[in-house]
Amino acid sequence: MCIHNSAMNWTHHTATINGISMHFVEQGSGMPVVLCHGFPHLWFSWHRQITALASAGYRVIAPDMRGMGQTEAPPEPQAYDIDHITADLIGLLDHLGVDKAVFAGLDFGAFAIYDLALRHPQRVRAVIGLENPAAPHNPDEPPLSEYRRMGGEHFLHIEYFRVPPRADRELAAQPRRFLHKVFHTLSGAGNYFDCFKHPPGTSYIDAMAEPPALPWHWLSELELEFFVSEYSRSGFTGGLNWYRSMDLKWAQRKPFEGVQSRVPAYFLGSEHDVDLEGFHGDDPISQMRAIFPDLRQVRMIPAAGHMVQLEASDQVNRILLDYLAEIAAA
């Protein structure tokens, strides 16, 4: 199914890919660029990049990732392992008749494209990671065990998400309140680590500080409403399953320990990103270079946080266009 949005010149598609119904947005022609979001995001997280990149001569493809937005959400966490996620992306290329593409990803979308580059390098022209650099995992302990210990000391969102159905029900009951709070908490103006002041067992919504009223300089009420509308319809279980499958992904990454990818890589981060500050160690760029030795450029944006493509859209667009021009010229 194909629906054209004349206002933005976006074309919405729904197709059966890798056994699920996948929704994606497409605009432009030229070198294919696939934009992969994380949680609790959507294809719409890239809406300020899609037209900017398409207008510069690129074919931009922004899927709703498995379990989120209008893409089908299998109920079991096992359906969100690396094999399924990378097969989704390969299936998307096959559906579009694309041999090789540049992949950009943020949050879980970044890890998806790194896994893809290691497993299917012939389909990846380059990777552009935003906020979350590629990193080796702890070879001795599955991540959910590690986070369970941390979550026994104070609130931790990953531990809160780990066991259904509490998080599923609480977030679905208050989607606007959750999204309003979490977008601010993860932004450069928020402070996720204040959540650690709350004891284990606290709900994520209660652990986050009250955000200022919209509009913010980077997010309008109408934009928030798009996310609220989509998650009100789909629920949050699909996105939460990306966390619940972390141990499965950990096991699937073990054969790739010490393996380096020859795929060209680029990184874009922000100086106030919670993941870079708290979850990637003291030297995350060196860790990424150990996996992607052909790491060609690293840029950092001041003041912004984890929602960088919305918080600093113009800067992100300029940097992405610089990266893509270099990739296209190679």
Place of tokens 């929602």: 307
End-to-end CA distance of the chain: 35
Distance CA 237, CA 165 (A): 9
Distance CA 33, CA 54 (A): 9
Total residue length of the chain: 330
H, E, C per residue of the chain: CEEEECCCCEEEEEEEECCEEEEEEEECCCEEEEEECCCCCCHHHHHHHHHHHHHCCEEEEEECCCCCCCCCCCCCHHHHCHHHHHHHHHHHHHHHCCCCEEEEEECHHHHHHHHHHHHCHHHEEEEEEECCCCCCCCCCCCHHHHHHHHHCCCCCHHHHHHCCCHHHHHHHHCHHHHHHHHHHHCCCCCCHHHHHHCCCCCCHHHHCCCCCCCCCCCCCHHHHHHHHHHHHHHCCHHHHHHHHCHHHHHHHHHHHCCCCCCCCEEEEEECCCHHHHHCCCCCHHHHHHHHCCCEEEEEEECCCCCCHHHHCHHHHHHHHHHHHHHHHHC
Distance CA 43, CA 47 (A): 7
Which residues are known to be catalytic?
Answer: 107, 306
Distance CA 269, CA 129 (A): 8
